[in-house]
Structure 1
């Protein structure tokens, strides 16, 4: 483990994910956490987890981003004390509105609801029900903004200064590459998921989400064939 992105979702986490990959890092984002470690996270959420659990889960991964890493960044840092911590921040009012927009877009997505209903993976059920505790507070802007502010402040106070980068995506590659001792790539800094398009984008190109789409197509197709067959057998009796 080399880097922990401690930022809450909607702080450019998808842009940071692409930036890390461009710099050559192996990244576990929201999808990877639940696809590869769904059972581990279910256990951690229900029973608790140890530093050894986090070390085992992420010893071969370069970077963790987004939920649930942002909620467990301190435990992950204890497991990998030499890791660097980055927190990307933005105006809290803009963050809140963007976060609300993402929640609304997610809950109203027909494709996502279909996949969640028929895919036998744990990624969506575990992720949506347990790993977004702030959904219980999404009607209170004051609580959400306080949570956001307290989280960011706590990170900046607890991480050693030489291991921490407070990053604004508008600053582009330079401060990030300087902090990570990397050459600046010959391409623009990425800006992804600006319109809460996370899941529609993922369905198109993310390998984990595409596996889930294939699961859904297989299950829906199988149920359709069985339904047609059963209907045929019933009609044949008449």
Structure 2
């Protein structure tokens, strides 16, 4: 079984998954897109890919390779003192194959990434706060509420069981609550942008809205403007359709796994029952 999430193939079998612990950097980190999700981050992944940046790390990358969630989970644990902050070498484990990042989980670690990769330029994708909230609440917010149910994570430990705790802790710690509260989330949204602007030298930062298209982005990155239109992704519609497909496939796999594990027990139970009824013991 396979799927697709914002252009990245999702291997449901797990045969191509890689544990990146111990991996080294193989490409230079050049661009950190640190705007909140639902600010055109999927469009940015496509745009940066078109401009020659390979790989552009996005939440889709975690779905593409679920073992990555283990390292992001470790990074979030450092926020609450459960381990030391990741070193550059440890960040390179999960991001060493990427020339750029966009979307969560990278965006919530903006402070760490700005410090660890001082050579990288910072693009801050933005949009109207109310429009952002409407989109966020209808997509990621809805998923956060569903995270409270852990039964699928329990029967699917290799995929959902990895991604759920990573996302749960990351959102809970960054926003200060897993309750998707409009006032609180909007407050953190504003703080996110203010903090990044304060932490980044002006010459290293581009405040950007994807509606501006190629020109300001290419000028900032020193890239020629492509002839084709800037990519536009309807993230909300795509999110619901794709997440439904992926979770449906994972549920099928998990149920089959549970049934395969339960079958020998059922067979043994039936055998014991008939043995007892026939007086064998």
Q: TM-score by structure 2 length?
A: 0.69
Q: Which of 218, 222, 225 lines up with 1:181 in the alignment?
A: 222
Paired residue for 1:8?
A: 36
- When residues 114 and 145 of structure 1 are mapped into structure 2, their CA distance, relative to the original with a 3 A threshold, is same
- When residues 55 and 230 of structure 1 are mapped into structure 2, their CA distance, relative to the original with a 3 A threshold, is closer
What does 1:1-238 correspond to in 2, within 5 Å?
1-25=29-53, 26-33=55-62, 35-46=66-77, 47-52=83-88, 53-106=90-143, 116-117=153-154, 118-121=156-159, 122-133=161-172, 134=175, 136=177, 138-195=179-236, 197-198=238-239, 200-201=241-242, 213=249, 217-228=252-263, 230-231=265-266, 234-235=269-270, 237-238=273-274
- When residues 152 and 104 of structure 1 are mapped into structure 2, their CA distance, relative to the original with a 3 A threshold, is closer
Is the 2:123–2:208 contact (alpha carbons within 8 Å) kept by the matching residues of 1?
yes
Q: CA RMSD in A?
A: 3.2
Bigger RCO of structures 1 and 2 (CA < 8 A, at least 6 apart): 1
How far off is 1:186 after superposition?
3.5
How far off is 1:232 after superposition?
5.0
Instruction: Give SS of 2:189's match.
Output: helix
Instruction: Give SS of 2:103's match.
Output: coil
Distance (whole Å) between structure 1 residues aligned to residue 67 and residue 227 of structure 2: 32
Counting helix residues as a fraction of each chain, which structure ranks higher? 1
Distance (whole Å) between structure 2 residues aligned to residue 135 and residue 188 of structure 1: 39
Distance (whole Å) between structure 1 residues aligned to residue 107 and residue 146 of structure 2: 24
Distance (whole Å) between structure 2 residues aligned to residue 72 and residue 5 of structure 1: 11
Distance (whole Å) between structure 1 residues aligned to residue 139 and residue 35 of structure 2: 16
How far off is 1:87 after superposition?
0.6
| Larger gyration radius, structure 1 or structure 2 | 2
Distance (whole Å) between structure 2 residues aligned to residue 200 and residue 119 of structure 1: 23
Distance (whole Å) between structure 1 residues aligned to residue 110 and residue 178 of structure 2: 21
- When residues 175 and 113 of structure 1 are mapped into structure 2, their CA distance, relative to the original with a 3 A threshold, is farther
How far off is 1:109 after superposition?
7.2
Distance (whole Å) between structure 1 residues aligned to residue 92 and residue 114 of structure 2: 9
- When residues 75 and 229 of structure 1 are mapped into structure 2, their CA distance, relative to the original with a 3 A threshold, is closer
Unpaired segments ≥5 residues, structure 1: none
Q: Give the total of aligned pairs.
A: 231
